[in-house]
Amino acid sequence: MSKRQPQVVAPSHARRLLGVVLVEPLPVVRAGLALLVDADPDVEVLARAGSADEALDAIARSRRSRVVVLIGLGLEGEHDAPWLIRAIRDRYPAHAVLAMGANADPTSISRALFVGADGYVDKSIDPTEFLDAIRRGGDHEMVLSGPPGEEVGMIAEGIERRRDLDVRLTQREREVLVVAAEGLSAREIATRLGVRERTVTTHLGRIYGKLGVGSRLAAVRMAARSGLVTVGSPE
């Protein structure tokens, strides 16, 4: 079966300076967002993608210098929204990246911001405000449009928690904790990561000590509040 290519939209006129790549798993929502964005005379949709791999293919083919990548937090699977955000930040540091969702929870937003998103825009806001958020993102402003005021503090707190965990834990300890959040046994974690079971138990012991907790459940809860892990995430 041939690989499905992302739908690339040809530019309509030269004076549109800001290019947008839409990454949204739901086709109807993706089409609606494209119509909204293309209605702005200063912005144009460069490509629409339904998966992370399609998005990276489209971005690689683009020659635009000013690009905003809108990534729906509903993107799931091995290459989910946070994975794509980090990949774009690593490969295309000059591009702006905005996460988007519909009444997304603060943990998901803070995780997106921590891995490299320049902001978050909620799909429930007024279309004019949505387009303004894209333009501000293109100017590399920090964008946070949509969450209720009381949740902004929770998002900021989540980012601080995540930074704190990243400072305390090694890369391998974070990997162990992420897999542990799926409810796997030490032996299953070892198989997943390609290490010995004793190595996993050693890492878990060190994680508990660094986080000041006495159990795996407490460690996972702390990591989940920071957005580092998603409890019960699938393999």
**Looking at the DSSP assignment, which residues form a beta bridge with residue 34?**
none
Weakest mean pLDDT among 33-47, 109-123, 125-139: 109-123
Query: Per-residue pLDDT for 2 more than 60?
Result: no
Q: What is the CATH T-level fold of the domain 169-226, as seen in this structure?
A: Arc Repressor Mutant, subunit A (1.10.10)
Antiparallel, parallel or unpaired: β 143-145 and 96-101: unpaired
Extents of the domains making up the chain: 9-155, 169-226
Weakest mean pLDDT among 33-47, 73-87, 124-138, 149-163: 149-163
Weakest mean pLDDT among 55-64, 69-78, 207-216: 207-216
Task: Judge whether 227 and 114 are in contact, CB under 8 Å.
Answer: yes
Weakest mean pLDDT among 31-35, 60-64, 154-158, 163-167: 154-158
Q: What are phi and psi of 169, to 5 degrees?
A: -100, 145
Query: Per-residue pLDDT for 138 more than 70?
Result: yes
- Mean pLDDT value across residues 72-83: 92
* Pairwise pLDDT comparison (125 vs 160), residue with the higher score: 125
* Pairwise pLDDT comparison (43 vs 63), residue with the higher score: 43
Query: Per-residue pLDDT for 176 more than 60?
Result: yes
**Where does residue 209 rank: exposed (0-12), middle (13-18), buried (19+ CB within 10 A)?**
exposed
Q: Which CATH superfamily is domain 9-155 in?
A: Response regulator (3.40.50.2300)
Cα angle: 27, vertex 21, 43; to 5 degrees: 110
Q: What are phi and psi of 43, to 5 degrees?
A: -135, 145
Phi-psi region of 68 (alpha: psi -120 to 50; beta: other; left: phi over 0): beta
Task: Judge whether 34 and 45 are in contact, CB under 8 Å.
Answer: yes
Are 9-155 and 169-226 in the same CATH fold?
no
